[in-house]
Amino acid sequence: MKSKETVPSNPVKIQDNTFRDGHQSIYATRMKTEDMIPIAEEMDSCGFHAMEVWGGATFDTMHRFLGEDPWMRPKILKKYITKTPFAMLIRGQNLVGYRHYADDVVRAFVDKACEIGIDVFRCFDALNDFRNMESCAERIKANGKQFQGAVCYSLTGVRLGGEVYTLEYFVKKAKELEQMGADAICIKDMAGILSPFDAYDLVSAIKKEIKLPLHLHSHYTSGMASMTYLKAIEAGVDVVDTCLAPFALRTSMPAIEPMVAALRGTARETGIDLNKLLVLSEHLESIAPKYNNFLSNNKLSIIDNGVLAHQIPGGMISNLTGQLKEMNALDRLGEIYEEVVQTRKEMGSPPLVTPVSQIIGAQAVLNVLFGRYVRISNQLKDLVLGMYGKTPMPIDQELTKKILKNYKRGQEPISGRPADYLEPEMEAAAKNIGHLARNDEDVLAYILYPATMEKFLQTKYGISESVSA
């Protein structure tokens, strides 16, 4: 990459994540649609490759905390943003909820998401078991939208390599996505553990084998992500995800402004107007007082050095700390770190991403406090049963037997696609919610969040009677 004045021959494309992952990462997903509207048209004119505006935790927080109908945000923003494609993050068979849903729900959800204006679906599975993305992918393609297959980045040790997460593993996963008909591939580094030189090797290897556009999504958590992006850009990555500065850094994405400035005058210049971004950032600063109290400010450091030491994502650590506090055992945090590593290994070395990170973390706490696998959570039993999919490494047979002993859902692990074991859900749910649901959007939302959505729909339609009446 030359640093002298050159004509940009291969501009780096930017996906802006300010309206989704940005505030999800540092402001507890609390940004209101009304605060996006004033800058929406200006954002549309920046020349972003895409804007991520929906998915992840937005569906949950919008109805639970913001009093907004989750389906409305893309519809509203589409009035102001007419050129830039809309992206969403979707957890495969998990959609935007907290369990695996049956295929009829997945199909209806994706169809509806297409209808309300989502153009690009970044689809991932916590175990990198892409069978959990098949139903999503089929509907995305059938609707003529973009299926971006994401592979969760994880590590065996401190760097790429070792027993599971090798260069070959990720290249193989990217090829699987290509075979599924992916329109683009994404390396999803949700914990910010991809180091710059590993990114260079990883991007080079995937670009060599696969001709599809390659995206890199990384979090700034450990402080490496801006360096990681630069090395990935050198290696030929096509698209990187950033946020406007007030919604960037910390556990969010790298900021766009220094990225645009650093690439000026190079072959990979972005073509995005820095002055425009500065105006937009200034506007966001003016709404900052509203969101500032969601920012965790109990540390001076904006990076999480712990991630560099043990690769355990910050969100998982705060969950662990919370559980230990409840059990009056905060002094055992050190032991828990070691136990997380051990438990994860025994459970087939899955990537530490929601919901698997919580399952492993919670079990590690039980293991330390009550003895190893003396008390076992039902979620862990489901994981061992195969209901979340196939773990990257097999789980030891003896341990499997012990964990599934007398489990009511089954004692023999399944080997098929998990959703094949789920009964259709739409009809029963529609019946259950009855007249409170006025359309498919209401029914789907109710399936995803039964308790809180019931309350939300009552408020939405000005009804206070009980659903089952």
Residues that bind Co ion (CB under 5 A): 21, 190
Q: In the complex, what is the shortest distance from the CB of residue 352 to Co ion, in angstroms, rounded to a whole number?
A: 13
Q: In the complex, what is the shortest distance from the CB of residue 21 to Co ion, in angstroms, rounded to a whole number?
A: 4
Among residues 155 and 419, whose Cβ is nearest to Co ion? 155
Q: In the complex, what is the shortest distance from the CB of residue 217 to Co ion, in angstroms, rounded to a whole number?
A: 6
User: Can you read off the two tokens belonging to residue 438?
Assistant: 């006025």
Among residues 190 and 444, whose Cβ is nearest to Co ion? 190
Q: Counting beta carbons within 10 angstroms of the beta carbon of residue 428, is it exposed (0 to 12), middle (13 to 18) or buried (19 or more)?
A: exposed
SS3 405: coil
Q: In the complex, what is the shortest distance from the CB of residue 355 to Co ion, in angstroms, rounded to a whole number?
A: 15
Among residues 220 and 456, whose Cβ is nearest to Co ion? 220
What letter does residue 110 receive in the DSSP assignment?
H
Instruction: Transcribe 287-338 into DSSP letters.
Output: HHHHHGGGS--S-S-SS-HHHHHH---HHHHHHHHHHHHHTT-GGGHHHHHH
Q: In the complex, what is the shortest distance from the CB of residue 189 to Co ion, in angstroms, rounded to a whole number?
A: 8
SS3 407: coil
Q: CA 285: distance to chain centroid?
A: 26
Among residues 129 and 241, whose Cβ is nearest to Co ion? 241
Determine the Cα–Cα distance for residues 451 and 443; give it in Å rounded to an integer. 13
Q: In the complex, what is the shortest distance from the CB of residue 367 to Co ion, in angstroms, rounded to a whole number?
A: 29
Residue 188 pairs in a beta bridge with 152, 217
User: Can you read off the two tokens belonging to residue 119?
Assistant: 């153009």
Among residues 128 and 323, whose Cβ is nearest to Co ion? 128
Q: In the complex, what is the shortest distance from the CB of residue 253 to Co ion, in angstroms, rounded to a whole number?
A: 7
Give residues with Cβ within 8 angstroms of 4, minimum separation 6: 265
Among residues 193 and 444, whose Cβ is nearest to Co ion? 193
Determine the Cα–Cα distance for residues 41 and 83; give it in Å rounded to an integer. 10
Among residues 190 and 224, whose Cβ is nearest to Co ion? 190
Q: In the complex, what is the shortest distance from the CB of residue 190 to Co ion, in angstroms, rounded to a whole number?
A: 5
Among residues 51 and 437, whose Cβ is nearest to Co ion? 51
Cβ proximity of 42 and 268 under 8 Å: no
Instruction: Transcribe 8-24 into DSSP letters.
Output: -SSPPEEEE-IIIIIHH
What letter does residue 106 receive in the DSSP assignment?
H
- Ranked by CB distance to Co ion, the top (closest) residue is 21
User: Can you read off the two tokens belonging to residue 383?
Assistant: 């994981």
